[in-house]
Amino acid sequence: MALIRSKPTTPGERGRVRLSSDDLTVSKPKKSLVKAKPQRAGRAANGRISVRRRGGGAKRQYRVIDFKRDKKDVPGQIASIEYDPNRSCRIALVKYADGDWRYILGPEGLGVGDMIVAGDSVEPRTGNALPLRAMPTGTLVHNVELQLGKGGQIVRSAGAAAQVLAKEGGYTLLRLPSGETRQVLDTCMATVGQVGNLDHKNVKLGKAGRSGHLGRRPHVRGVAMNPNDHPHGGGEGRSPIGMPGPKTPWGKPTLGYRTRKNKRSNTFIVRRRHKK
């Protein structure tokens, strides 16, 4: 996929790098696979803000993605490659032999007219979905399940891929994009290949307004605030944070402080992403 560098005709265009849309085949999504997406702007189910600096932005429609790949042994043909405003990768519209239509994450190298299929004993080819126990060692996979039947939960962003390292005792050892190595039940489904849109990481927005279009609100530094607004605030001129370690606005440690509390899956992690 090509990158387009804008000419410096305006300050906002100077330095802007955007993705080419040459890989897209249609401009509108399939109506039956689209539903409304209310703007909750970083709020949890109780309506309270759980992620700060979110709000506004352009309206979006949600594309219903088939993360489960539970249509077993029914071949499907890629009908189109489309843009999805809700994720970093492209999505592919699949027309199955029984007349059903579904969206899947667009793997790298998959194009219009290609055939895919999901099943327990299908060929491990790009776009096909099969259990991890049927994957040859060294295979790159994405959209990996962590619980059987729940659908893919990890390795779903643009350019991401996990590698199958080994199999033992009903588990498959995967190296994740973060560098973490963990065990996953070998009955869980995964899709062969790497997620497409590899150049997404090279995009440069060029101006603050484009961050606003994505729903990202301004981020004010703590040292620029008053002491009653942030622990780092106050002082004359530019001043250090004045405490043993950086803090959140509520006084909790941050910037490298580990907050992981999910001890249930510790036994499945063979090597953490944090290098010692």
| C-alpha 256 chain-centroid distance | 22
Q: Is pLDDT at 91 greater than 80 in this prediction? A: yes
C-alpha to C-alpha distance for 169 and 141, rounded to whole angstroms: 20
H helices of 184-228, in order, are 208-213
**What domains are there in the chain, each with its CATH number?**
3-201 (2.40.50.140)
| Residues paired with residue 189 on neighbouring β-strands, in sequence order | 131
The C-alpha angle 151, 157, 158, rounded to 5 degrees, equals 135
* Distances in whole angstroms, Cα of residue 196 to Cα of each of 83, 124, 154, 205, 238: 12, 17, 15, 20, 44
Token representation of residue 142: 């994405």
* Distances in whole angstroms, Cα of residue 92 to Cα of each of 65, 113, 137, 163: 9, 11, 26, 22
The residues near 246 (Cβ < 8 Å, ≥ 6 apart) are: 222, 232, 253, 254, 255
Q: Is pLDDT at 74 greater than 70 in this prediction? A: yes
Residue carrying the six token digits 């699949």 = 94
Q: Is pLDDT at 77 greater than 80 in this prediction? A: yes
C-alpha to C-alpha distance for 140 and 24, rounded to whole angstroms: 24
- Least Cα distance to 72 among 107, 32, 100 occurs for 100
15-45 confidence digits (pLDDT tens): 999 999 999 999 999 999 999 999 899 999 9
Average pLDDT over residues 60-83: 96
> What is the structure's pLDDT at 275?
72
Average pLDDT, the chain: 95
Token representation of residue 144: 């990996």
| C-alpha 68 chain-centroid distance | 16
C-alpha to C-alpha distance for 256 and 176, rounded to whole angstroms: 20
Rg of the Cα atoms in the chain:
22
3-state secondary structure of 156: coil
135-179 confidence digits (pLDDT tens): 999 999 999 999 999 999 999 999 999 999 999 999 999 999 999
C-alpha to C-alpha distance for 163 and 166, rounded to whole angstroms: 9
Q: Is pLDDT at 1 greater than 80 in this prediction? A: no
C-alpha to C-alpha distance for 253 and 81, rounded to whole angstroms: 44
Average pLDDT over residues 225-250: 94
Q: Are 34 and 26 in contact (CB under 8 A)?
A: no
Q: Is pLDDT at 64 greater than 90 in this prediction? A: yes
C-alpha to C-alpha distance for 240 and 238, rounded to whole angstroms: 7
> What is the structure's pLDDT at 274?
84
In this structure, are strands 269-271 and 181-185 parallel, antiparallel, or unpaired? antiparallel
The residues near 175 (Cβ < 8 Å, ≥ 6 apart) are: 162, 163, 165, 181
pTM of the complete model: 0.91
Token representation of residue 261: 């509390």
196-222 confidence digits (pLDDT tens): 999 999 999 999 999 999 999 999 999
Q: In the structure, what pLDDT confidence band is assigned to residue 276 with cuts at 50, 70 and 90?
A: low
